[in-house]
Structure 1
């Protein structure tokens, strides 16, 4: 198995972002990420319709998000470790296939339990995808890795913006279930494109007792090695606080704008779309800044901007003031991931890059998956303002941690 470039000609080794073999694969895996994010994030602006149709509470809706994100998090380490041993293509196509099944189940869910089952399958399938996708991007790009990560992670924000538009369109002409039909079609097409274009063969993981025991031993070794790095522990704390905030906002921002700020449904979806449209622009720029300046300093600045903007959002009244606060919140929030992911990849050895990235993603996404349940619980018993005020505290602590790390270098 080869993850490198030994099989490519000199022309194909060039790190092209949009053309050639590297560009084609970057765009393909990014399209897959766009579609996955569209399907997951379209649930947010559709949430009032879903809650009414299935007769569920804010907390039950939050639990569904937590289940989806939690299983997604649990898949990060095994998918990363498998991507170090199998081909990236094997994991990517398998993940896309599972997500197709999960979204089809969500679209046809007659009850809340069936809806939870669909969310679980989506989470499990999505968990197989991003770590090998990011590892593949690292295989393809070295000198332009920050830019490549910026473009790849921005593709998820394109999916978020598409989710908002998709929600408005389907609610205007059909029910919330219709939103998943185009998502399934794009995901199936992406899987086919990877099958045709990626040159790697397919591998199957070993499932015998010896392989399972080796996997457990590897997990323990990885955890011990990562935990022994003090800076990495602090990075994980900062990233977990960020993920808690991000997943909470991704799940409930449209509902927050409707309930706390009095926005109509279409304007709330527009605010949700702005979050990702700004992110699609900011992430590549942040990735480039991280290539030129100390990455910890850039990440700390991003969190500081997000915290200040969220404070402004909580205090703002009126459409223009709230809209400007959402844009500033998006700029700070979305500038963070490409810089921190490149920083983490810099700290991992090449031979275990996928597994180490997967392990760290399991930790911070897993802790972050509790965010939607927190928001649903607090909003149902107090208010959405109180729930989002707690997110402000997470950003402030995260910013303080990363500032300390930047100063200690």
Structure 2
């Protein structure tokens, strides 16, 4: 262990349980704020489609731009967290997301809307890699802690659409989106008050590492990390397809009102908020892969139900099962962290998260384009097929004892 690692480890171990819990709550609140601002955009898509008189493919492109920019920010934010500490980056992510959210709310045209979503993605992209690295330093049981972090995002996925749908119906989607800015204020204050400023994990980190092909290749070509990245891409594509277009799908394909679709959309993420910490503990106690396999199976079954089973029963059952299925983030993040050392977590996880999220960001534009040209059953049928592929990879690793 290097001197920096030792110093960081000593500082983390000196943080008492009470302060650790406050830090977990504050960082999770930050995730609630920045992720909620992005998830809300998917819930107001039906309103934006009508207001700008545009297509699912066009909005899918805008949302892919947001998520792709968010992904590209993961790597530099992880490297900077290694060098200067996680806390400043966590705070910058919360504030940056708030600025981007305000710009989206003020957008007069779909072109400006698309540009503003890129700003939102860039600001929010500073948050998650440093937040994950910070909690991984504070907690030995990473699956549980990281599932609380991702679960807070799932709570945001329930609360923001449910409230935003009502606001959008009564006052317009701009007001609904703008309300997300207010949520960032207490999140930023909590970060300032309760998140400890640990010594940087690697203060000597050379920023040239961002463009060092040898270091990048060393991380990406490590078989267990490459395998986990493939799982993350498939799950992430599904998340993009659901978070961007589930509300529009419910309005167009199942015939519900936009406000009801927003509530159902929120219900998916509300159920996910309960399922994620549970699945994180399952992954800590039994197996990361078993936890991911269960969630992937449920998500596929939920989407298939929404597409194939008619009437209220299909909607309710599909929403519940899909919500329970979107519980893979914690186990997948922990799977990455298990295979990275303390010194490389900021750098390595930031790089890997950039790669898998950038590739998964295509879920928005692909789903929108397929829905526009071939219909919703084809669009979400593709998602189910990708989840089946993920399940096949998990099975192959276990059956053939690949040790990935």
Instruction: Indicate which of 162, 165, 168 corresponds to 2:162.
Output: 165
Query: Is the 2:302–2:319 Cα contact (8 Å) retained in structure 1?
Result: yes
Query: Is the 1:231–1:405 Cα contact (8 Å) retained in structure 2?
Result: no
1:70-113 deviations in Å (ceiling 9; x for gaps): 00000111111111111111111222222121111111111222
In structure 2, C-alpha distance between the alignment counterparts of 1:264 and 1:180, rounded to whole Å:
19
Alignment of 1:202-241 (within 5 A): 213-217=208-212, 220-241=213-234
Q: Name structure 2 gaps, 5 residues minimum.
A: none
Query: Is the 1:222–1:356 Cα contact (8 Å) retained in structure 2?
Result: no
Residues 9 and 42 (structure 1 numbering): CA distance in 2 closer, same or farther, change over 3 Å? closer
Q: Residue 168 of structure 1: SS of its match in structure 2? A: helix
What residue in structure 1 maps to residue 368 of structure 2?
376
Alignment of 1:46-125 (within 5 A): 46-125=44-123
1:139-163 deviations in Å (ceiling 9; x for gaps): 1100x32211111110001101012
Q: Name structure 1 gaps, 5 residues minimum.
A: 15-19
Q: Residue 256 of structure 1: SS of its match in structure 2? A: helix
- Give the structure-1-normalised TM-score: 0.91
Greater CA deviation, 104-113 or 193-202?
193-202
Residues 201 and 344 (structure 1 numbering): CA distance in 2 closer, same or farther, change over 3 Å? closer
Residues 225 and 374 (structure 1 numbering): CA distance in 2 closer, same or farther, change over 3 Å? same
Q: CA RMSD in A?
A: 2.2
Q: Residue 254 of structure 2: SS of its match in structure 1? A: coil
Q: CA deviation at 1:211?
A: 5.9
Residues 92 and 386 (structure 1 numbering): CA distance in 2 closer, same or farther, change over 3 Å? same
In structure 2, C-alpha distance between the alignment counterparts of 1:60 and 1:328, rounded to whole Å:
29
What residue in structure 2 maps to residue 175 of structure 1?
172
Alignment of 1:311-350 (within 5 A): 311-332=304-325, 334-350=326-342
Residues 378 and 179 (structure 1 numbering): CA distance in 2 closer, same or farther, change over 3 Å? same
- Give the structure-2-normalised TM-score: 0.92
Instruction: Indicate which of 143, 148, 161 corresponds to 1:146.
Output: 143
How many residues end up aligned between the 2 structures? 395
In structure 2, C-alpha distance between the alignment counterparts of 1:384 and 1:57, rounded to whole Å:
14
Query: Is the 1:297–1:406 Cα contact (8 Å) retained in structure 2?
Result: no
1:169-199 deviations in Å (ceiling 9; x for gaps): 2124311111233321221332233223334
Q: CA deviation at 1:200?
A: 2.2
What residue in structure 2 maps to residue 262 of structure 1?
255
In structure 1, C-alpha distance between the alignment counterparts of 2:300 and 2:386, rounded to whole Å:
9
Greater CA deviation, 258-267 or 354-363?
258-267
Aligned: 1:155 with 2:158? no
In structure 1, C-alpha distance between the alignment counterparts of 2:250 and 2:352, rounded to whole Å:
32
1:272-318 deviations in Å (ceiling 9; x for gaps): 11211111111111011111112112212221222233222221101
What residue in structure 2 maps to residue 300 of structure 1?
293
Q: CA deviation at 1:214?
A: 4.4
Query: Is the 1:4–1:140 Cα contact (8 Å) retained in structure 2?
Result: no
Instruction: Indicate which of 381, 398, 402 corresponds to 1:406.
Output: 398
Q: Residue 121 of structure 1: SS of its match in structure 2? A: helix
1:190-215 deviations in Å (ceiling 9; x for gaps): 22332233342899xx9xxx965443
Residues 186 and 228 (structure 1 numbering): CA distance in 2 closer, same or farther, change over 3 Å? same
What residue in structure 1 maps to residue 133 of structure 2?
135
